[in-house]
Amino acid sequence: GSNNPEVAERLKKIRLVEALRKAKRDWKEIKELVGISRSTYYEWKKRLETEGLRGLRGKLKGTASALEVVKLS
C-alpha cells in the first residue's frame, strides 16, 4: 500500500495536482511544478479509483522492453 515509496509519491502528486486545479492553475504550470503531465495524472487517478493504492505501483517494465528486443531482432 502507501508504505511503498513509489505509491506514496504518486499519491502525493495526485493530491497536489487536485489542489492546484482547485486554485485554477493551468496544466502547463502544474506540469512544471509537479512534474507529471495531464494524461499521467488522469491515468494514475483512474488506476487509484479502480485498483486502490495497488494501482499506483509501477507497471512491469521488463515486458515492454522484452517485446521491443524481439521486434528489433
Q: What is the pLDDT of residues 7-52, one digit of tens each?
A: 999 999 999 999 999 999 999 999 999 999 999 999 999 999 999 9
Helix (H, G, I), strand (E, B) or coil at 41: helix
- Residue 22's contacts (CB-CB under 8 Å, 6 or more residues apart) are none
- Residue 69's pLDDT band (boundaries 50, 70, 90)? very low
Q: Which three cell numbers stand for residue 6?
A: 513509489
Q: CA 37, CA 35: separation in Å to the nearest integer?
A: 7
Alpha-carbon distances, residue 8 vs 5, 19, 29, 61, 70 (angstroms): 5, 17, 22, 19, 34
Q: Is the pTM of this model over 0.85?
A: no
